[in-house]
Every structure is written in C-alpha cells, then in structure tokens.
Structure 1
C-alpha cells in the first residue's frame, strides 16, 4: 500500500510539473500577460484534476491571487472580478461550470477587457486520461499558426471540399463561411483567451444543402456529453441532412431526439489541430476532445457563430459533435490531409 501511495504521489507530482510548464507557456506566449497585469485564479477542489491544474497555475503564476470558489459567496466572487483592471487575467478552473445566478461570467469578463482562460468539465475526465488532457495544454505555437492560418486561407477561398473515409466520400460542393481560428493567436481579436485546450479551425458550408455523400464516424458526444468511441459506422448526408441507419442504437436515439425539434443538419466543419488527442488518445469531455487532431462535424440547427436564413443563431436547440474517421481531405485541387497529417 505504501508503495502504491508513493507511486500515486510521484504520478500526480509529475503531472503538476508538466501542467506548470504548459500553463506557463499559455500565460506568457498565448495570453501574453505583462508584469504590470494582475492574475486571479478562481478554482474549486471537487475533481482531482482541478487540483492538479490549480497547482500548475501556482507554479505558472507565482504572483497570482487564488480564490476557492466554494469558500466565498457569489457576491464576493463578482466583487473580486469587478475590482480588476482592463488587461488583467482571470483563470477559471472548474470541475463543471461555475454558476453565479444571472451573472454570465465569460461575457462579463470580456466586456471588461479582461483576459480569460477557462478549464471546464474537469470532473468528466478520468484519472487515466489526466496525462492526455495535460499534454493537450501544450501550446504548439509554430504548428498551430502555420496549420491554422494555412487552412483558413484555403477554406476561405475554396469552392469544393472532398472528404474521404474508408469506403466513403463526402462532398461540399459550395464555398465556406469565413473560417474561425482557435489557435492562441489573439492579435486581431477583441477578446483575449477562451476555453483551453485549444487547436481548432472551423467553418461551415455557405449553402448547407450542397453537402452530400457518406462518411464514417468513430466517435460522438452521447446524451450526457461524454465522448463515446465506437467501431466506425456509416452516415449518409443528402442535401445537408444526415441519417445513420447503421449507427449504434444510442446514436440513433440522439438523432431521434434532435428530430423532435429540428432537422439533423450538418453544420460545423471543424478541423482539430491538437496532436495530444485522437481516436486512441481520448478525454471524455467534448469541450476538450473537440480539438482532437482530425475532423469533426456538428449536427443540429444550433451554431453560435454562423446565421443562416431560417436558422437564427439563438434559436437552434442542438449542436452535437461527431468525429470523422478521415483518410484524406481535399480542398479544391489540393490535398490538405492524408496519412494522419495536415499538409499546408
């Protein structure tokens, strides 16, 4: 037992050391916190991973202020955040999501010009997945910037995308909406920060009805928002609407639930750049795993970024992410993904 406890201590200590390294890079190279700017870390201690990440920030922010969310009143939390100056940093380390009645934390922080880093749903991540999550926090600046901006340049000007999976082809016979980047480059953005881990490029078809064909799906978020990895199954897309007659029953149940309110529309076209996560390197939380190195789609009418005729940004109910078992992606005449790597 003593040996087991010692091994556990060494394991957790090594994770904290690695977290400190990656979080230091995030604070210095992505967020670019200046010596004159203050850092406030708000945390809870419910999930073991929140404690590791919080300790990582203690190393990354030796002059930071740390506030245990559960040890104070909501009013005290709000007052503390409102005492900060523009350009200061707020870090939220959350077992799930902090709730402050009607106070919308992210909106309020950005409205005040505060830099923000969020870690959410850490209670969903199981102990064997801790190293995957922490490695996913690595800020691969050169890689993210090269691949992210390279993909954006091609997606913003393309007229056709072809996605090949084993035995299937999915075609976007349309241009794409302006591509958004989540790569830690905030130089031209109003708000600095967001939810970490990062590493994503996303857009959607300008004409959603011009998405047709078939694809293979290896994973999806189940009805409890946990990642489910399965034997790849085929989905069929016709005029932008997805069906899945060969899917596992729980995925069919998800589609049925969507259909009760809206069509199963294929919306987001997402390319994940985070090489720490993939089909064989998972974390259960969808918010993190969405950045996995590969491709994902969203199903349902909801999308917070892109509005379409008849699809108001705030009126759709469902945004269900599914992960595509890709072999090749071609944008116009250029192959941008093959052999498990992006080539731009």
Structure 2
C-alpha cells in the first residue's frame, strides 16, 4: 500500500543472530545474573520489535512479557513499581512508548532498576533491520579497550583536527574530559541505556576555539531521520559557530533556520567518536539516534548539550542538539597523531 514502509523478511539466521547479540548484552554489558528479576515490555508494530522480544525472552527465560497494546499504562507503571532494585527492564519500542512517566528510563534508574532500551525500530526498513541486528553485537574488549584508549588520548591532546578527503580542516583547541557509551557500567550509578551502543564524546573546552571547514554527508532533519544529501554540504565555522554553508539543501537550510529562530546562532558543540563497526557511510539506518553510533565522527548543531556546562549558555535557553556526520577521510588528529585510518580507530 502506498505510504506503508516496506520491511524485509527477517530470516531464521537473523533471529539467531539477534539471540546471540542480546545474550551478550544481558550477560556481558549489563551483567544481569541468571534467574534475577526482569521484565520485557514490547510492541508488535514492526517486525524488529517482536523479534527482539523473542531474543530477550531466550536470554531471560524467567522474565514476564508485556505486549504494550494489551495492557493499560497504569498497569505497566504498576509492574515497574513492583520490581525490586537491581531488576532489569527491557523496553522494545517501534516508536517510543507514551506512558505517564516523563523520560521513563530516568525514572526507572531512580528506582534502582537496570534498563535496556530500543527505540524507533519502525524506522529500520528494508536492509536496515539486519544492520540494526548486527549493530547489537557486544565485543567487550573492543568497545571498552578502544573507548578507554580514545578517552586517554583526548585527555592528553593539546588540540584536535578533523581532515576531510578534500583537505579541509576543522580545528579544535583542548577538549573536555571524554565520556563513554561502551556498555561498561561497573563504575556508574545507572546500569543500562539505549542500544545499540558505541561512542566516545567530548567537545572543545573553549567552544570559540573551533574553526575551519568540514563536509557534512548526513544530517538529522526536522523529523529526526537521517538525511543524505546528494552532494556533501560544506560548513564553515568561526569562533565555534557556523558562519557559511556551501552546497546546502532546503532540508539543511530548514534545520539551520529553526536553530537560529530560537537560539540566534548555530553553535557547534559535541564531538562524537562513534565505535560501532556495523555502521559506516554505506551501511546506514534511517534513525538518527541509532546511526550516531557509526564508526566515524558526528558533531552537534545547536547550543544544547546536557553533559557539559558552558558559561555562555543557560540550560533553560538551549533547545537544539542536531547530529551531523562529517567526512574524516583525512583522519582524526589528536595532537600529532592520526587515530582514524581506513575507516577504523587506531589507538
């Protein structure tokens, strides 16, 4: 039917792969003991959602399952409230559950629960669904080792540069202490988060130190989908703000216009180093929050970044955090060392 997304057939092999990867997440990342309390909440609005629910059921055979359309919001929230601290909640969502709780994952963390969250699965259509499943693989040695190595290199780097295939350079001064999203919760208060994972992120200590040029080959549009312009868009940055754009598109112009309307100018903030090797410039997905894990670099447009406070911003006045993905074929240079070569991190 016109307007209906097409979903590829998910094979037995895909289901087996999902079970394997989900078991890795539960056992190695979350470190949830066998037989410990757990609850699986899911919908059936796209093929990926029940497939993942089945995979988690195999990993957590003791866990009750709630299909969201068969119960009231009040019943779901009551089931959450009845769980003991240390229990695991798995949220599998074709879009995003609309329960009474604001920022449900935050509320569950406050209750002392572990949380695994999958969102916007309905955006993974055609070949994207198998890519999403592949991105769930949890290689603890790779994620933790590479993440911690990049974190250490960021801490010691006097400056950073992103170099495109065309030779354009985006310059950074010293960077903030990096934060990790690598599935290692052993030193954290909250256990879990949104999957797939794989990211090291930071930003310039002095945002006005950022200057130069970079090519954007994917950006998050106003519907939170990945937008792939036919020709990469060049952004020119001075004193941490976008001051000019070349080869833009109406969709990218709309993003910039929305930011400027509310925040006055377009700041460049997050410097995200993605680690997930299932995603690259060819193997993509439509959901911007999933694709930001790709093995590459994304930046954020807009003044909003909840992980770092800057004196020029009041949090209540910051609204936008739009991910854009940049060409780094010439490397990611921390100090005098290129840590990104031939599409992989070298640390």
Which category describes the TM-score, using the shorter chain as reference length?
over 0.9
Deviations 1:263-310 (A, max 9, x none): 210000000000001110011011110100100000001112111113
Structure 1 residues 323 and 104: CA distance shift in structure 2, 3 A: closer
Residue 229 of structure 1 deviates from its aligned partner by: 2.0
Residue 36 of structure 1 deviates from its aligned partner by: 4.8
Q: Are 1:256 and 2:257 an aligned pair?
A: yes
Taking structure 1 as the reference length, the TM-score comes to 0.94
Residue 257 of structure 1 deviates from its aligned partner by: 1.4
For the 8 Å contact 1:169–1:214, the answer to whether it is kept is: yes
Match of 1:278 in 2: 280
Match of 2:55 in 1: 56
Q: Are 1:311 and 2:313 an aligned pair?
A: yes
SS at match of 1:217: strand
| Stretches of structure 1 lacking an aligned partner (at least 5 in a row) | 1-7
Whole-Å separation in 1 of the counterparts to 2:285 and 2:50: 17
Match of 1:5 in 2: none
Match of 1:337 among 315, 324, 340: 340
Match of 1:300 among 280, 299, 302: 302
Residue 14 of structure 1 deviates from its aligned partner by: 2.1
Match of 1:290 in 2: 292
Q: Are 1:225 and 2:228 an aligned pair?
A: no
Structure 1 residues 172 and 313: CA distance shift in structure 2, 3 A: farther
| Stretches of structure 2 lacking an aligned partner (at least 5 in a row) | 1-6
SS at match of 1:302: coil
Superposed counterparts of 1:1-344, under 5 Å: 11-230=10-229, 231-242=231-242, 243-262=244-263, 263-327=265-329, 328-344=331-347
Would you identify which runs of 4 or more consecutive aligned residues in structure 1 move more than 6 Å? none
Whole-Å separation in 1 of the counterparts to 2:195 and 2:103: 18
SS at match of 1:260: helix
Deviations 1:220-261 (A, max 9, x none): 111111111233221111111113132222111211111111
Deviates more, 1:196-205 or 1:69-78: 69-78
Q: Between Structure 1 and Structure 2, how many residues are aligned?
A: 337
Structure 1 residues 334 and 56: CA distance shift in structure 2, 3 A: same
Whole-Å separation in 2 of the counterparts to 1:95 and 1:11: 16
Whole-Å separation in 2 of the counterparts to 1:292 and 1:303: 20
Whole-Å separation in 2 of the counterparts to 1:162 and 1:47: 41
For the 8 Å contact 1:22–1:137, the answer to whether it is kept is: yes
For the 8 Å contact 2:232–2:247, the answer to whether it is kept is: no
Whole-Å separation in 2 of the counterparts to 1:251 and 1:173: 24
Structure 1 residues 215 and 201: CA distance shift in structure 2, 3 A: same
Whole-Å separation in 1 of the counterparts to 2:335 and 2:274: 20
Taking structure 2 as the reference length, the TM-score comes to 0.93
Whole-Å separation in 2 of the counterparts to 1:296 and 1:10: 31
Residue 314 of structure 1 deviates from its aligned partner by: 4.2
Whole-Å separation in 1 of the counterparts to 2:285 and 2:146: 23
Residue 107 of structure 1 deviates from its aligned partner by: 1.4
Deviates more, 1:203-212 or 1:104-113: 104-113
Whole-Å separation in 1 of the counterparts to 2:172 and 2:72: 53
For the 8 Å contact 1:270–1:297, the answer to whether it is kept is: yes
SS at match of 2:127: helix
For the 8 Å contact 2:201–2:273, the answer to whether it is kept is: yes
